[in-house]
């Protein structure tokens, strides 16, 4: 059965490539755009108060299949295949191919070559930009924005330790559906950290459990290694070392470092047992 989270199909409309596999009143070819906003909310329904499913980051590709008269568009993100509703104002037609990515957890884009100027935007980690020239300590983008050179790297850059990326996000407020330093959830933390390290990763914790790594047996589970992933129903944590994990969670309402056994006991007391431990 096709996963509705990853399948651009509704009763009234579906992607053309799904014809013969799903039922819909009509099938359409999608139109591809790029996210132009710093963060674009992908929602369950075309309304600002609808559930936030995930977020798209500046530079991500999205295929749009439907639009309504209230400024919402229904489509699918290319990076992880997630389907939902985006505000039309958050995506634009393709421009020049990006040359760099933001590597800081968050940076500022200035209108000129001075940190004293009021920032125009605040791009988050993994945002993609086209750099056209250098000016002093700044990289100038094709949009005329000035980014600190220390906060970007070329497109080929990958982080060597995805756990270290997660650790840099400690203290980030918990946000259901979030995937940036402005707000993040448990599976968003795993996805962003792995993407920074050049590793493909689905969006939700159940998909991550199914697709990532290999399951550890009982003996191996007693000898956890940095980078192992511990899964509960609806939750995931990243192992830092033999004694601690880092995870975005609603108990702390933040990304926090916690003792592994303390986290397991606390979550068990709330009614959820560990269901898998995976090693990448």
- What are the mean pLDDT values of the chain's consecutive 10-residue runs (280 residues total)? 96 97 97 98 98 98 98 98 98 95 98 98 98 98 97 98 98 98 98 98 98 95 96 98 97 98 97 97
**Which pLDDT score is estimated for 172?**
98
- Beta bridge partners of residue 259, listed in sequence order: 244
Instruction: Name the 3-class secondary structure at 239.
Output: strand
**Which pLDDT score is estimated for 1?**
84
Burial of 62 (0-12, 13-18, 19+ CB in 10 A): buried
Residues 120 and 37: their CA atoms lie apart, in Å, by: 12
Closest CA to 243 of 224, 256, 230: 224
| Kind plus residue range of the DSSP H or E element containing 196 | helix 186-196
Residues 275 and 277: their CA atoms lie apart, in Å, by: 7
Closest CA to 91 of 50, 59, 119, 114: 59
Tracing tokens 């080929």 back to the chain, one arrives at 156
pTM of the model: 0.96
């Amino acid at each position: 059965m096709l996963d509705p989270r990853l399948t651009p199909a509704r009763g009234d409309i579906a992607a053309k490539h799904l014809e013969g596999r799903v039922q819909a009143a009509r099938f359409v070819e999608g139109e591809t755009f790029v996210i132009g906003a710093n963060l674009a909310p992908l929602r369950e329904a075309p309304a600002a108060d609808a559930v936030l499913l995930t977020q798209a980051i500046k530079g991500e590709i999205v295929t749009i299949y439907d639009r309504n008269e209230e400024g919402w568009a229904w489509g699918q993100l290319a990076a992880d295949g997630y389907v939902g509703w985006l505000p039309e104002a958050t995506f634009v037609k393709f421009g020049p191919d990006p040359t760099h990515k933001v590597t800081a957890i968050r940076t500022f884009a200035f209108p000129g070559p001075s940190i004293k100027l009021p920032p125009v935007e605040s791009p988050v980690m993994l945002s993609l930009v086209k750099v056209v020239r250098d000016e002093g300590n700044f990289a100038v983008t094709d949009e005329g924005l000035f980014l600190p050179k220390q906060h970007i790297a070329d497109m080929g850059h990958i982080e060597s330790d995805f756990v270290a990326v997660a650790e840099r996000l400690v203290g980030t407020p918990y946000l259901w559906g979030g995937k940036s330093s402005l707000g993040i959830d448990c599976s968003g933390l795993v996805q962003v950290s792995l993407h920074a390290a050049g590793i493909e990763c689905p969006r939700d914790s159940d998909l991550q459990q199914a697709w990532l790594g290999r399951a550890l047996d009982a003996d191996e589970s007693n000898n956890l290694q940095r980078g192992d992933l511990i899964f509960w129903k609806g939750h995931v944590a990243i192992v830092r070392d033999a004694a601690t994990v880092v995870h975005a969670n609603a108990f702390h309402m933040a990304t926090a470092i916690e003792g592994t056994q303390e986290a397991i006991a606390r979550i068990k007391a709330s009614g959820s047992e560990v269901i898998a431990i995976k090693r990448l």
